[in-house]
């Protein structure tokens, strides 16, 4: 089957997909056939796809390369199911996703920021790093979400309701005031201004990571940390943790 006929048939086949998906699939298949021109689709092999992806991957994220692979898999699966042509893309595996850079704040740097922060900035920063709340959860915190004795707060994030225990620091903040920012942008501005005073970047979400890592260093179970953060999967919790090599020191002593 000529390549031009095969691509025309495939492009007609995907007409029911969204316009964005159609355009992406067409672009990926066209790029592949231009980079590795052949007269008949039966002349292609899995090696050609691997070579194309390796070339395409230069300077791009693995997620982008995987999207092109999905398009090629769809193309060759269509040919296999409709024209009895070997699906050469079936055995090709997706590439592992790049681990995104996740800012982390050390205890030393956090102490420096808190030392020069205003009381309001300090309250917001401590509420985030002592509870692990998301910005949106802090902004939506209402008096009825706080236990009468200030022992815990109940928040709702990403459709899930969870209860977070409050330590003494959080109890003191809640006893003074519950006037927290009403939107995430305000929280970002507060944290940014506080961090800037000592030349540190302080995105609010890194305080959620600080919370998780601090609990782990204190010996709290990963399952408990998962519950506190409100993660559906423990794998999600694991990527929040900033573990240095020093954390491993002595970890096997209990086996002696």
Instruction: For residue 198, give the DSSP letter.
Output: T
Q: Classify the phi-psi angles of 199: left when phi > 0, otherwise alpha if psi is within -120 to 50, otherwise beta.
A: left
pLDDT in tens, 26-74: 999 999 999 999 999 999 999 999 999 998 888 888 888 899 999 999 9
Give the helix ranges, DSSP H, for the chain.
3-13, 19-35, 46-56, 62-83, 107-116, 119-131, 135-139, 168-176, 184-196, 204-217, 222-229, 234-240
At residue 226, what are phi and psi to the nearest 5 degrees? -60, -45
Asked whether the beta carbons of 154 and 140 are under 8 A apart, the reply is: no
**What does the chain come to in residues?**
256
N-terminal to C-terminal alpha carbon distance within the chain = 68
Q: Using DSSP, state whether 157 is helix, strand or coil.
A: strand
**pLDDT at res. 254:** 56
pLDDT in tens, 186-208: 999 999 999 999 999 999 988 99
Distance CA(197)–CA(199), nearest Å, equals 6
| Cα separations in angstroms, 70 against 2, 3, 50, 116, 225 | 22, 19, 13, 51, 35
Is 101's pLDDT higher than 60?
A: no
CB-based burial label for 210 (10 Å; 0-12, 13-18, 19+): buried
Q: Which of 51-60, 70-79, 97-106 has the lowest mean pLDDT?
A: 97-106
**pLDDT at res. 177:** 72
Instruction: For residue 104, give the DSSP letter.
Output: -
| pLDDT > 70 fraction of the chain, expressed in percent and rounded | 91
**pLDDT at res. 245:** 45
Collect all residues with Cβ–Cβ distance below 8 Å to 163 and sequence separation of at least 6: 152, 153, 154
**pLDDT at res. 100:** 58
Average pLDDT of every residue of the chain: 87
Six-digit token pair at 69? 């692979």
Instruction: For residue 231, give the DSSP letter.
Output: -
Query: How much is the average pLDDT of 228-241?
Result: 78
Distance CA(98)–CA(63), nearest Å, equals 7
Instruction: For residue 146, give the DSSP letter.
Output: B
**pLDDT at res. 221:** 86
**pLDDT at res. 64:** 87
pLDDT in tens, 141-158: 999 999 999 999 999 877
Asked whether the beta carbons of 160 and 232 are under 8 A apart, the reply is: yes
- Structural domains in the chain? 3-83 (1.10.150), 107-246 (1.10.443.10)
Residue of higher predicted confidence among 100 and 181: 181
Asked whether the beta carbons of 23 and 14 are under 8 A apart, the reply is: no
| pLDDT > 90 fraction of the chain, expressed in percent and rounded | 55
Instruction: Report strand pairing: 160-165 vs 152-157.
Output: antiparallel
Six-digit token pair at 80? 């296999």
Asked whether the beta carbons of 71 and 23 are under 8 A apart, the reply is: no
Distance CA(91)–CA(182), nearest Å, equals 50
What pTM does this model have? 0.58
């Amino acid at each position: 089957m000529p390549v031009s006929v095969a691509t025309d048939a495939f492009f007609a086949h995907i007409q029911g997909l969204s316009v964005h998906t159609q355009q992406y699939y067409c672009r990926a298949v066209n790029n592949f056939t231009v980079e590795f021109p052949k007269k008949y689709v039966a002349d292609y092999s899995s090696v050609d796809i691997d070579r194309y992806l390796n070339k395409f991957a230069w300077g791009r994220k693995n997620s982008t390369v995987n999207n092109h692979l999905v398009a090629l898999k769809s193309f060759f699966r269509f040919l296999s199911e409709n024209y009895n042509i070997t699906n050469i893309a079936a055995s090709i595996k997706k590439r592992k996703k790049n681990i995104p850079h996740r800012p982390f704040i050390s205890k030393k740097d956090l102490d420096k920021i808190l030392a020069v922060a205003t009381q309001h900035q300090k309250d917001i920063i401590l509420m985030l790093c002592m509870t692990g709340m998301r910005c949106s959860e802090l902004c939506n915190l209402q008096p009825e979400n706080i236990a009468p004795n200030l022992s815990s707060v109940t928040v709702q994030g990403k459709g899930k309701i969870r209860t977070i225990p409050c330590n003494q620091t959080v109890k003191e903040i809640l006893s003074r005031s519950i006037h927290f920012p009403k939107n995430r942008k305000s929280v970002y501005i507060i944290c940014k201004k506080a961090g800037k005073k000592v030349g540190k970047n302080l995105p609010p979400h890194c305080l959620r990571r600080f919370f998780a890592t601090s609990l782990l260093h204190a010996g709290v179970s990963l399952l408990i940390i998962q519950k506190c953060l409100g993660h559906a999967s423990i794998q999600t919790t694991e990527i929040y943790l900033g573990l240095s090599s020093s954390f491993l020191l002595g970890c096997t002593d209990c086996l002696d």
